Chain A
Amino acid sequence: MNSQFPINQNFTKESLKKQFRLSEFLAEKIISSIAFLSITIIILIFFFVFKESLPIFHFGKSEKAKTEVSSESMPESYGSTSVEDLKPESYGSEPKEDLKPEAYGEPVSQSDLKPESYGEPVSQSDLKPESYGEPVSQTDLKPETYGDVVVEPLTETTTKDSSISEENQHQDKVAENNEGTDQTWSTFLTTEWVPVSNNPRFGLIGLLIGTIKVTIIAMLIAGPLAILAALYTSCFASKRKKEIIKPIIEMLAAFPSVVIGFFALIVLATFFQNIFGYDSRLNAFIGGVAMALAAIPIIYTISEDALSAVPKTYTEASLALGASKWQTAFFVTLPAATPGIFAALLLGIGRVFGETMIALMATGNAALLSSNPFESVRTFAATIGAEMAETVFGETHYSVLFFIGSLLFIFSFVLNAVAEFYVKGKLIKKFQGK
């Protein structure tokens, strides 16, 4: 017997000596450093986003708000063109006097001027500044505006609120516009989102309400549907059906959100407008429905896993007590899977909350204050998505967009924290005893 394990039989101090296992040590270190790295990256992203939004917090510092330079009577316009500067919108930036046919290659003398042409030559009189689309005459020139807003001086449309801020602005101008950022901060709690204007207002309330409205609508649709579908597949469907249904719904998770948005924009919007007959074709409801489509697979997959992980013994015990399948599913399996389903719902909310493309395409993008689900809304994420490309780096608008970004981050963080530490505990207590 001893000959079989000659070394292990020796209980000496030598054989029991502490061993250093290099590979295990390294593996452990690598795994932990990767884990820390991922956490650090998340925090760094937040700090970067937040840092970019910092300028709006510098009260009274000499940060010039670049959008607030020109006169007050200017029409509200997209971009920063003033009336005096009106030009035919042209490719490049050549002043009007210098109009020349666009030429490639070396500079040409006046006599050499010929219209650049493909095909037949054109006479000198045909020369026009190169423009987008059809040529515009001087009389057609108007500042480009959002949608069908009528061009008129701001002073005529002002509400009490904005006239006050205009006064402020005047004072600011006197004080070399020093307080511009202070004013930005103070407009956060107003309701108007007019970021590009001489008198920009960054009212976040409308956006917040829009975001919450869409999230609630989407979760009201996606939550019950996804959980019931999960309950069906895990408790009632035969193995074969489950093998078909689950991958199909999960495939929806891989659907690009732009496709869902497009579908909502073209198909759903018309379909529901025909049913409900509301005014604005794209609205919070359509956005909610489309986002529900995006959230359903996530909620479904995770709740299905949670439901399937409920021990079979619970089901057996319930059935042995004379409960029907439905009673077992609703009163035993579902409560037992509460934590998992809760996590699924949270992930769904997170998805809807941060969804940009669908919001951009299907919600109408108008920051209205209304409790009517059939009004257009504008969400935080869609605002960033729509406007980030058109702001000037370092401008107030730019900072505000980043501030919205950090708000999104903070909101989902708080939501998750509250859910994890408070609501989940209560739910578990309610369904599973203390």
Chain B
Amino acid sequence: MKNTKIEVKDLSLYYGEKQALKNISLEIPRNKVTALIGPSGCGKSTFLRCINRMNDLIPSVKITGEMLVEGIDIYDKNVDVVNIRKKIGMVFQKSNPFPKSIYENVAYGPKINGINNKTELDEIVETSLRQAAIWDELKDRLDDSAMGLSGGQQQRLCIARTLAVSPDIILMDEPASALDPISTSKIEELVHELKEQYTIIIVTHNMQQAARTSDYTAFFYLGELIELGKTNTIFTKPEQKQTEDYITGRFG
């Protein structure tokens, strides 16, 4: 498929003895928003973290199968995990800005990639903050600590920070779960705008959010991929009984 960004073949993941993901195979399209839904503990976050190899940080994890991004297996021995993460950014459930100034937070990514030119950095910081729709709120207080921002601002700052390293793919792990409705809607708008340039994968517990923001939806249950399809189809005419039950709120 020409429009496939990520192709997953028979991916299984074990935490020690326990199998958390069971033979997942799916394709994620380019420049679209794909939502991963499912009840807690179904493996959707684990799957998301497989895409930029964040699971490497957990010592007992064992992964089999293939994860092809643009046709390259990112679990190949010759692939450097640092370079993967530069191309596949991630926004976490809990907003986690560094205890530095706002400017430093956004400039951190470019700096570690070797950009030290002040004007260039300024430009990147401004573009990223504008893209994250937070520039107007923060432009006068770039030297303040990021810890003093509100939860919603922090989360958008984290998105700006991710954008600053210009990734191809953005993974979002329940980015709005701890935010109020106004902040949530801002983030959703943001996701909508960002999909022009990026491939976005978003994990969410909020059914409406998935329906509002995503183009494709994947339903996970007990470590298995039950169904992947266009969001419209999934929410109106799901093929699987389990999907229908979950979406209509009969379980989970």
Chain A residues engaging chain B, CB cutoff 8 angstroms: 238-239, 311, 313-314, 316-324, 327, 331-332, 335-336, 431-434
B56-69 vs A, CB cutoff 8 Å, 1 = contact: the mask equals 01010000000000
Complex contacts, A238 vs chain B, CB 8 Å: 59
Inter-chain contact total with CB atoms closer than 8 Å? 87
Q: How far is the CA of A299 from the CA of B57 in the complex (A)?
A: 28
B127 in the interface, Cβ–Cβ < 8 Å?
Answer: no
The one of A311, A318, A434 that contacts B108, using a Cβ cutoff of 8 Å: A318
B225 in the interface, Cβ–Cβ < 8 Å?
Answer: no
A321 with B165, Cβ < 8 A, contacts A314-B99, A336-B99 known: yes
Q: Number of contacting residues on B, CB 8 A?
A: 36
In the complex, besides A314-B98, A317-B161, A322-B165, 20 extra interface pairs with C-beta distance below 8 angstroms are A239-B59, A316-B96, A317-B96, A317-B97, A318-B98, A320-B54, A321-B108, A321-B109, A322-B85, A322-B86, A323-B82, A323-B108, A331-B111, A335-B100, A431-B99, A432-B99, A432-B145, A432-B147, A433-B101, A433-B143
A431 touches B112 (CB 8 A): no
A322 touches B113 (CB 8 A): yes
Chain B residues engaging chain A, CB cutoff 8 angstroms: 52, 54, 57, 59, 82-87, 89-90, 92, 94, 96-102, 104, 108-109, 111-113, 143-147, 158, 161-162, 165
A321 touches B145 (CB 8 A): no
A433 touches B85 (CB 8 A): no
Of A311, A323, A331, most buried by chain B (CB within 10 Å of CB) is A323
Q: How far is the CB of B80 from chain A (nearest CB, A)?
A: 9
B112 touches A316 (CB 8 A): no
A321 touches B112 (CB 8 A): yes
The one of B87, B94, B96, B100 that contacts A432, using a Cβ cutoff of 8 Å: B100
Q: How far is the CB of A212 from chain B (nearest CB, A)?
A: 33
Q: How far is the CB of A419 from chain B (nearest CB, A)?
A: 20
Question: 21 A–B contact pairs at CB < 8 A?
Answer: A313-B92, A313-B94, A317-B92, A317-B96, A320-B85, A321-B109, A321-B162, A321-B165, A323-B82, A323-B112, A324-B82, A335-B99, A336-B99, A431-B100, A432-B99, A432-B145, A433-B99, A433-B102, A433-B147, A434-B144, A434-B145
Complex contacts, A323 vs chain B, CB 8 Å: 82, 108-109, 112
B54 touches A316 (CB 8 A): yes
Complex contacts, B112 vs chain A, CB 8 Å: 321-324, 327, 331
The one of A239, A313, A319, A433 that contacts B100, using a Cβ cutoff of 8 Å: A433
Q: How far is the CB of B180 from chain A (nearest CB, A)?
A: 21
B146 touches A433 (CB 8 A): yes
B85 touches A321 (CB 8 A): yes
Complex contacts, A433 vs chain B, CB 8 Å: 99-102, 104, 143-147
Q: How far is the CB of A337 from chain B (nearest CB, A)?
A: 10
A316 touches B108 (CB 8 A): no
Q: How far is the CA of A434 from the CA of B99 in the complex (A)?
A: 10
Q: How far is the CB of A97 from chain B (nearest CB, A)?
A: 83
Q: How far is the CA of A431 from the CA of B147 in the complex (A)?
A: 13
Of A317, A319, A320, A324, most buried by chain B (CB within 10 Å of CB) is A320
Q: How far is the CA of A433 from the CA of B157 in the complex (A)?
A: 15
A322 with B109, Cβ < 8 A, contacts A316-B54, A433-B143, A434-B144 known: yes
Q: How far is the CB of A340 from chain B (nearest CB, A)?
A: 12
Complex contacts, B57 vs chain A, CB 8 Å: 316, 319
Q: How far is the CA of A434 from the CA of B165 in the complex (A)?
A: 24
B59 touches A314 (CB 8 A): no
A336 with B165, Cβ < 8 A, contacts A319-B54, A321-B89, A322-B83 known: no
A316 with B92, Cβ < 8 A, contacts A327-B112, A332-B98, A433-B104 known: yes
Q: How far is the CA of A313 from the CA of B104 in the complex (A)?
A: 17
Q: How far is the CB of B103 from chain A (nearest CB, A)?
A: 8
Q: How far is the CB of A313 from chain B (nearest CB, A)?
A: 4
In the complex, which residue of chain A has the Cβ closest to the Cβ of B81?
A319
